Structures are given as structure tokens and as C-alpha cells.
């Protein structure tokens, strides 16, 4: 009998599973990982690829794009390592690129304080901090992509002359990879632009493992990411960009590089494919944990882990998802309305409605619906109310060990795959 510890909220859930029933146990590979985040980022900044930070920012009005508090990355260290090198800029505008996320979250306020403290420590006086609000921030239309996305951006960006971007990279279930492009669209675009771009998530090639910057030319088609790239180029025009990218795993940093936006991103994609992408034979049963807090703070967040591991479960199979969800169904009322309120409808009706008229967040309902219809059951161990769970066509359990025991009772030879940190990995069919 093996003791399996799985992250759940701020703690862990322990499961006992017979050794013979354990199939693949998957989590991001930690080869050459280090807890020395400061040293790794500093080394990356000191050895940039093709483009230097100084030549990008010297004498210019610079936008420093920092990802928002929903990203599980070391924001304070990232800010410290960048600000110590930003003296050559004429003016600095730190922009927290929230996209459609909640702009006034507690974590965003902590990031703002970190920026102020770091600027004070590094004697940077000519700076301001902007938190983008996709609904409230004044935005200006600058053009339309070939896929019909009207690119309307925060007007505070218009006068900037260069950009420095910090991007934590990982697999993304419909944009291919989280990367630098997301800091532009959706980062500081208005709600309508984000909605138009994300409507492309319904297309089959909008999935993980595909991106226009991918090293493999056969994996460069991804409608969502291609639209993001076109929008970013439209925003940038000839304005230079310096990128600091990294791949993290919990308290570890696996890789970091800085310099040219495309080349650094391409290298990061290769690292993600090497460390967090897996080919696994499909089985009848899988156990999934998104990775604990903040990855499982709501069902909306936790669903990403299902999308990234769904290739490991056969048709008519079952999934056990461990997601605490202390913030409920979704992080905002609008996300709840267009995610959960769609998901509780009869599934064929819901999917037909979304196909007829996409609304932001409904791609999650669509993909959830596809998976629910393909499987026998998705079990959810959570702090959510039982009625909330079952109304969404999911099966509620108060005892995940009992669920696993039932699987084995029904099939003594059952193979159970286990996925840790599922929000950061990608599972391809084997």
C-alpha cells in the first residue's frame, strides 16, 4: 500500500492506494531546479539574448508589465530584480496586467506595495503604478486583427516608448502556453477585445502544446495565440521590448532567460515541453490536484487542471478532482454568470447556445461540458456545497479515499494515474 500526498488548498489530502493499482504519477520535473530564484533571475538579466535591457529603456518612457496576483510566481523578487536595473529609463509606468481578472484583489495590493518599496530602495522617483481594469479603464481602439478582434487598449499605454515584461511561463489549456503575449492581450485590453480573442478557444487547435513561437514548425497553429501575437504586434509597432521570462514550480525555479521576446519565449516553450509535458496511455481512472492554493481557489481556476490532463482518461472513465475552492465557484460575479450559470444548464442546450453566441468565460463551460459528456463521472472533493456541485453535472464526495476504494472494488486490476500540480502540466495521448 502506498501513501499518496496530494496538495489541497493550503494543506494536503492523503490517499492509500495499492501499489499494483498505481499507474503514472506525474508532476513537473525538477531537474536542475533551484530555490535560488534571485540568483537565477539575476544571472538571466546579466546574460540577455540579442537585446539588452539598457538599450531598450535608456532615455525612454517605459512600461513595466507585471503579471497579476492570480499568477503563482515570486512577484516581489521579480520586481526587485527589475527595479535595480531601471535607472536609465526616463519615466516608468508599472502596469499590473490583469486582463479580465479582478483588479483590486488583496494580492494585487501586495504587489503594488512591493513595487513602491522596491522603487524606494532603488531611488526610482519618476514612476507610477497602474492596475488595468478591463471594464473601467479608459481604452482606445488601435485596430482590428484578421480574426476580427478589435484591439482596444488602456490609453495610458499609448505614450510609452518601450516595454519591459516579466512573464512566468507554463502550459495553457487553450492559448498553448502562458507567455509574454498574454501581457498585451488580454493584459491591458478592454473586455470586448478579451472576449473576442477568447471566443477562438472553441476551435480545436486552440489547445496546449501549440503556439506561433513553438520551436517545432508543425506545432505553430493556435488561433487564440496567433490572434494574441497579431494584437501584440499591432500594439508595439516599432516600440522595443525586453523580456524576462521564467519557468517556476512551487518554490523552485527551473529556468530563466531575458532579452529578445520571440527567442526567449521559444526557449521557454522548449523548457516547458521538456519539464512539464507528458505522454501517458489513457486509463479508466485518474486523480487530479491543480496544485493547491492558489490554483484551486475556485472551481473556475481548478478546471484548468482537468483540461490539461483529460487525455489520460478513457471515454466512460472517471476523474477524482481535489479542489478546495475557498473562493467559491468563480473569482468574480461575471465569471460565475458565464461559467457556472451556463454549466448548470442541460449540456447539449448549453453548448448550442455558446456556439451561437460566445460570451467571455463560456469557453470553460464548453470544454467542461465536452469532458462531462465523454466520461461516466467527475468526482469533486471540495468545500463547495453539495448542491452546487451536483447541479453542475458533477459528483460530490466527502471522502476521496472511499471513491478510490470503490474504483478498486469494481475493478481489482484498475490502473489509476495521479497528477500533481495539474494546472502546470500538459498530458498528450500516448
The span from the CA of 353 to the CA of 61, in Å, is 45
Backbone φ, ψ for residue 285 (5° rounding): -135, 135
Bridging pattern class, strands 91-97 and 377-381: unpaired
The span from the CA of 160 to the CA of 190, in Å, is 18
**From the candidate CATH numbers 3.40.50.2300, 3.40.50.920, 3.40.50.11440, 3.40.50.300, the one assigned to the domain spanning 37-275:** 3.40.50.11440
Average pLDDT, the chain: 94
pLDDT in tens, 251-273: 788 899 999 999 999 999 999 99
The span from the CA of 332 to the CA of 340, in Å, is 11
pLDDT score at 429: 85
Q: pLDDT category, 31, cuts 50, 70, 90? A: low
Q: pLDDT category, 35, cuts 50, 70, 90? A: confident
User: Where in 98-161 does DSSP place strands (E)?
Assistant: 127-131, 139-144, 150-154
Helix (H, G, I), strand (E, B) or coil at 396: strand
pLDDT in tens, 203-252: 999 999 999 999 999 999 999 999 999 999 999 998 999 999 999 877 78
Q: pLDDT category, 70, cuts 50, 70, 90? A: confident
Buried b (16+ CB within 10 A) or exposed e, 360-373: bbbbbbbbbbebbe
> In the chain, where does the domain assigned CATH 3.90.226.30 lie?
2-27+281-429
Q: What percent of the chain has pLDDT over 90?
A: 87
The span from the CA of 71 to the CA of 75, in Å, is 9
Q: Are 258 and 49 in contact (CB under 8 A)?
A: yes
Lowest mean pLDDT among 75-89, 242-256, 337-351, 370-384: 242-256
Q: Are 259 and 50 in contact (CB under 8 A)?
A: yes
Average pLDDT (97-118) is 92
pLDDT in tens, 269-304: 999 999 889 999 999 999 999 999 989 999 999 999
Q: Which residue is associated with the grid cell 468526482?
A: 379
Q: pLDDT category, 335, cuts 50, 70, 90? A: confident
> In the chain, where does the domain assigned CATH 3.40.50.11440 lie?
37-275
Q: Is the pLDDT of residue 32 over 80?
A: no
Q: Which residue is associated with the grid cell 526616463?
A: 90
2-27+281-429: in CATH 3.90.226.30: yes
pLDDT score at 281: 95
Q: Is the pLDDT of residue 136 over 90?
A: yes
The helix (run of H) or strand (run of E) holding residue 184 is none
pLDDT in tens, 146-190: 999 999 999 999 999 999 999 999 999 999 999 999 999 999 999
Question: Which residues have CB under 8 Å from 315's CB, separation 6+?
Answer: 374, 375
Q: Where are the alpha helices (DSSP H) in 47-154?
A: 53-57, 75-83, 106-121
The span from the CA of 93 to the CA of 66, in Å, is 10
Please tell me the total number of residues recorded for the chain in this structure: 430
Average pLDDT (106-134) is 93
Question: Which residues have CB under 8 Å from 397's CB, separation 6+?
Answer: 320, 379, 380, 381, 403
The helix (run of H) or strand (run of E) holding residue 334 is helix 333-343
Closest CA to 389 of 332, 333, 344, 339: 344
- The model's pTM is 0.88
DSSP class of 58? B
Q: pLDDT category, 424, cuts 50, 70, 90? A: confident
Amino acid at each position: 500500500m502506498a501513501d499518496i500526498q496530494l496538495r489541497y488548498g493550503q494543506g494536503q489530502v492523503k490517499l492509500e492506494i495499492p501499489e499494483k493499482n498505481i499507474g503514472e504519477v506525474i508532476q513537473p520535473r525538477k531537474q536542475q531546479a533551484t530555490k535560488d530564484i534571485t540568483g537565477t533571475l539575476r544571472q538571466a538579466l546579466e546574460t540577455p539574448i540579442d537585446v539588452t535591457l539598457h538599450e531598450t529603456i535608456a532615455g525612454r518612457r517605459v512600461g513595466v508589465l507585471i503579471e497579476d496576483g492570480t499568477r503563482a510566481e515570486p512577484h516581489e523578487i521579480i520586481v526587485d530584480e527589475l527595479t535595480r536595473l531601471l535607472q536609465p529609463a526616463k519615466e516608468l509606468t508599472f502596469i499590473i496586467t490583469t486582463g479580465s481578472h479582478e483588479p483590486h484583489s488583496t494580492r494585487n495590493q501586495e504587489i503594488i506595495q512591493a513595487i513602491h518599496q522596491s522603487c524606494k530602495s532603488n531611488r526610482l522617483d519618476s514612476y507610477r503604478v497602474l492596475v488595468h481594469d478591463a471594464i473601467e479603464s479608459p481604452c482606445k481602439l488601435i485596430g482590428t486583427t484578421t480574426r476580427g478582434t478589435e484591439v482596444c487598449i488602456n490609453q495610458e499605454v499609448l505614450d510609452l516608448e518601450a516595454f519591459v515584461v516579466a512573464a512566468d511561463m507554463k502550459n495553457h489549456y487553450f492559448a498553448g502556453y502562458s507567455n509574454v503575449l498574454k501581457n498585451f492581450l488580454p493584459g491591458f485590453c478592454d473586455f470586448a477585445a478579451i472576449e473576442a480573442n477568447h471566443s477562438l478557444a472553441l476551435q480545436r487547435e486552440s489547445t496546449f502544446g501549440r503556439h506561433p513561437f513553438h520551436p517545432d514548425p508543425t506545432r505553430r497553429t493556435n488561433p487564440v495565440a496567433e490572434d494574441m501575437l497579431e494584437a501584440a504586434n499591432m500594439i508595439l509597432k516599432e516600440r522595443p521590448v525586453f523580456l524576462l521570462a521564467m519557468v517556476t514550480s512551487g518554490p523552485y525555479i527551473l529556468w530563466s532567460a531575458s532579452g529578445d521576446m520571440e527567442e526567449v519565449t521559444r526557449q521557454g516553450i522548449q523548457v516547458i515541453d521538456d519539464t512539464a509535458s507528458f505522454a501517458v496511455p489513457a486509463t479508466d481512472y485518474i486523480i487530479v490536484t491543480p496544485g493547491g492554493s492558489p490554483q484551486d481557489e475556485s472551481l473556475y481556476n481548478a478546471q484548468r487542471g482537468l483540461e490539461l490532463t483529460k487525455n489520460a482518461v478513457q471515454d466512460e472513465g472517471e476523474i477524482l478532482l481535489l479542489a478546495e475552492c475557498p473562493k467559491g465557484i468563480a473569482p468574480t460575479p461575471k465569471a460565475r454568470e458565464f461559467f457556472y450559470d451556463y454549466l448548470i444548464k442541460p449540456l447539449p442546450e448549453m453548448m448550442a447556445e455558446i456556439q451561437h453566441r460566445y460570451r467571455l468565460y463560456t469557453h470553460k463551460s464548453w470544454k467542461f461540458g465536452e469532458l462531462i459528456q465523454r466520461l461516466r463521472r467527475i468526482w469533486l472533493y471540495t468545500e463547495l456545497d453539495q448542491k452546487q456541485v451536483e447541479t453542475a453535472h458533477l459528483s460530490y464526495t466527502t471522502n476521496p479515499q472511499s471513491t478510490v476504494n470503490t474504483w478498486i472494488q469494481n475493478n481489482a486490476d484498475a490502473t489509476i494515474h495521479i497528477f500533481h500540480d495539474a494546472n502546470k502540466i500538459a498530458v498528450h495521448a500516448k
